[in-house]
Amino acid sequence: MWSPQPPPLPLQLRRPTLPLLYHGRRRSSLNRIAASQEDPLTALTRVLWGRALPPSQLVLAVRHGWTAAWRLLMRQLAPSDPSTGAFTRTPSRFPAVVAAPSPNARLHLYVGLPCPWAHRALLVRALLGLETRLPLSVAVPGDDGAWSFTPDSPDALYGKRRLRDVYAARRGGFEGRASVPMLWDADRREVVCNESIEIAKFLCTLADADALDLWPPELRQEIDRWYGVIYPSVNNGVYRCGFAQSQAAYDTAASELFATLDMLEDHLSSSRYLCASGSSMTLADVCLFTTLIRFDLVYNPLFRCSRRKLVEYPSLHAYTREIYQMPGVAETCDMAAIADGYFGTLFPLNPGGIQPVVPVSCDREVLMKPHGREALSSAADASAGMQIGATTSVV
């Protein structure tokens, strides 16, 4: 008699059985990762593609991703002209001393040691002997790049954690970049100025009558002419090289920078200082020095100012050594803080945070070597008229 067939067994999906050898290799690889002295990520890459280069698709993806992130960070750190990629410096929020503080005002200077602009104010304070008249707070770059205070370097006036908090304490509040240097009026709780050259000029008005005159009335026009040369091409020129976001922008900035350095080398070979007779240091020299003292240490390697080092310019390097050896100047030049402030903080330019060794030309022993520029004073005095004419034609 016919009988019905039993119902079919339910369908079961099973993974194909892999060879025992595969399982052994996989377990062996995982065991090697666990036991490896390498970090897990490095060990994993060895398992994925051995000792060969990463797959081209991964390299391209990371490259494009990093480039996009770099451009995003650079737009915030160093705004540029969208059409050319040239660095454009953000104007100071308080560019001039609009209302001069009273003679007895409680003024306070905020600086950061890596910053060449803040160094100008710090240097003038030292050269004019204003340490007692003008107390100081030193901010340091935070992990996010913002100027901050630490227990070792506190805000001596208010005990704030960030420089931005000091700016915000003004009556009108504050929005924007909290930059250094910043001159603060504690009586009015107001920013006096945060433009370095204007702060330097104002500090000259606080000096005693017998102090070094860095801003003499008879040389002010010439100082301004020199500043009109060294600021765009040298002071800001190194930043235009380092923060350029296109090859054309970099090429232009580098060409202008080294053309100006060549001209300065020629001028300082026969003039002790920048202005007129060359026998007196002025604010023009202060502004040039704070860039030169950083040149071989950070601008040459990090900002790609690589055509020549400062030490390859005999007159410029001797000129830098002379100013460095003036009373109080060396104490304002903290090479370790400068290196850390650039290589450790400018993440888009140095993602690994690795600091190179300090060049020999930046060692204190080298900077203290005799400069031999004393003889230029008498020669410059004798040819003062010729130097003024030469300066005018150059500037």
Residue positions annotated with a catalytic role = 115, 239
Q: Phi, psi at residue 317, to the nearest 5°?
A: -70, -40
Token pair recorded at residue 314: 């005999």
**Chain centroid, CA 198 distance in Å:** 20
Farthest-apart Cα atoms in the chain, separation = 137
Among 265, 268, 257, which Cα is nearest to 387's? 268
Q: Is 94 exposed, middle or buried (0-12, 13-18, 19+ CB in 10 A)?
A: buried
Q: Which of 268, 280, 273, 289 is nearest to 218 (CA)?
A: 280
Q: Beta-carbon neighbour count of residue 121 at 10 Å?
A: 32
Q: What are phi and psi of 141, to 5 degrees?
A: -70, 130
- Helical segments of the chain, H only: 20-35, 40-49, 56-77, 116-127, 163-168, 196-204, 220-230, 237-242, 247-268, 283-294, 300-302, 314-324, 335-343, 364-367, 375-382, 384-394
334 class by beta-carbon count within 10 Å (0-12 exposed, 13-18 middle, 19+ buried): middle
Question: Is the bond preceding 314 in cis, omega lying within 30 degrees of 0?
Answer: no
Q: Look up tokens 């410059």; give the residue.
A: 380
- Residue 296 tokens read as 């071989």
Task: For 134, list phi and psi in degrees, rounded to 5.
Answer: -130, 90
End-to-end CA distance of the chain: 120
C-beta of residue 180 within 8 angstroms of C-beta of residue 111: yes
* Contacts of 68 by beta carbon, 8 Å cutoff, 6+ apart: none
- In this structure, are residues 180 and 115 in contact, taking their beta carbons and an 8 Å threshold? yes
